[in-house]
Amino acid sequence: MFKVKKPFEFVGNVSLFGFRVVTGLFRSPFEGEQIVRQIAEVGSRSLPLVIASGFAVGAVMTLHTRSTLVMLGAAAMIPTVQSLAFFVEIGPLVAGLLVAGRVGSGIGAVLANMRATEQIDGIESLSVDSFKFLVIPRVVACVLALPILTLFVDFSALLGGFLSEYLTSRASFHLYIIRAFSHLDWSNFVAPTFKTTVFGFIIGTVSSYFGYTTNEGAQGVGRAATNSVVVSSLLIILADVILIKCIFFIFPESAL
């Protein structure tokens, strides 16, 4: 497992790497073709997993919360609790962690393999900026794809929750949806969904950092993949705490 021997050096290097991504975004060439290709790659890799996981977690969560809410005489609140929980917190976090596992490991492994097989040197030898060509499109793809994938988690979780509720109490779909959205404000929905752009930036940057900067040949491929997942997941959870505080500051009503 990843051991941070020099944590400050590591944080500094990843921060500089991220800064290079941000500054590189505004320099031509803009790599539109690569960005579209990477968005398709991130989406196609993650979508089935994200939908299946959202559906399963939604169904399981309904099963767990039902008994408590029925005991409190609040069975009618099940769809509301479900939607608030997913749109505000579980959806973004689950999407972030799933993409970190699925896409982050892939980015780390692919770039490390390209480094080991001299493909990155090959790109440089052709006077092509390998950082702009390989890293920036991957980071941008993660940033743009994550909010969309989060919505898929949210809605598939609602569907999973409804199915679970329907099998238990024969609830109507129409009523379930009305109750699910009855207490949901834009502030509950927009800010948490868009905070996943930060998760996307973390996944893209950290994974690319481990893959792009590895210098360990074939051995480095597995290590880069593992480190990408572990460090991205950890940083997503830490960033989530900070972002929630920011959201509460900007939208105080959502903290009530």
Partner 1 sequence: MTPNVNAALVFDRVSKSFGTKQVLRDVSFELPPGQALCILGRSGTGKSVTLKLIISLLKPDTGKIWIEQDEITGMQPNELSRVRRKMGFLFQDAALFDSLTLYENLALPLHRLTSKSPQEIDSAVNTVLLQVGLAADKTKMPSELSGGMRKRAGLARALVLEPKLLLADEPSSGLDRITASEIDDLLLQQKAERQTTIIVVTHDVHGARRVGDRFAVFDKGNLVAYGTAAEVERSESEVARKLIAEQ
Whole-number minimum distance, CB 14 to partner 1, in Å?
22
DSSP state of 5: S
Question: With respect to partner 1, which residue has the nearer C-beta, 21 or 98?
Answer: 21
CA distance 48 to 182: 29
Q: 40 is written with which tokens?
A: 């398709």
The b-or-e profile of 240-254 (16+ CB within 10 A means b, else e) is beebbeebeeebeeb
Question: With respect to partner 1, which residue has the nearer C-beta, 128 or 238?
Answer: 128
Whole-number minimum distance, CB 113 to partner 1, in Å?
8
Residues 6+ apart with CB under 8 A from 240: 92, 93, 96, 195, 199
Whole-number minimum distance, CB 119 to partner 1, in Å?
5
CA distance 144 to 105: 18
- Cβ(116)–Cβ(218) below 8 Å: yes
The C-alpha angle with vertex 142 and arms to 137 and 145, in degrees rounded to 5, equals 115
Largest interatomic CA distance in the chain? 69
Residue 224 CA neighbour count, 13 Å, CB half: 30
Question: With respect to partner 1, which residue has the nearer C-beta, 12 or 122?
Answer: 122
DSSP state of 86: I
Question: With respect to partner 1, which residue has the nearer C-beta, 41 or 154?
Answer: 41
Whole-number minimum distance, CB 239 to partner 1, in Å?
30
State whether residue 256 is helix, strand or coil: coil
The sign one gets for the Cα dihedral 245, 154, 138, 233 is positive
Whole-number minimum distance, CB 222 to partner 1, in Å?
18
Question: With respect to partner 1, which residue has the nearer C-beta, 118 or 216?
Answer: 118
Question: With respect to partner 1, which residue has the nearer C-beta, 44 or 174?
Answer: 44
Whole-number minimum distance, CB 225 to partner 1, in Å?
16
Whole-number minimum distance, CB 41 to partner 1, in Å?
9
Interface positions with partner 1 (CB under 8 A): 29, 114, 117-119, 121-129
Question: With respect to partner 1, which residue has the nearer C-beta, 119 or 226?
Answer: 119
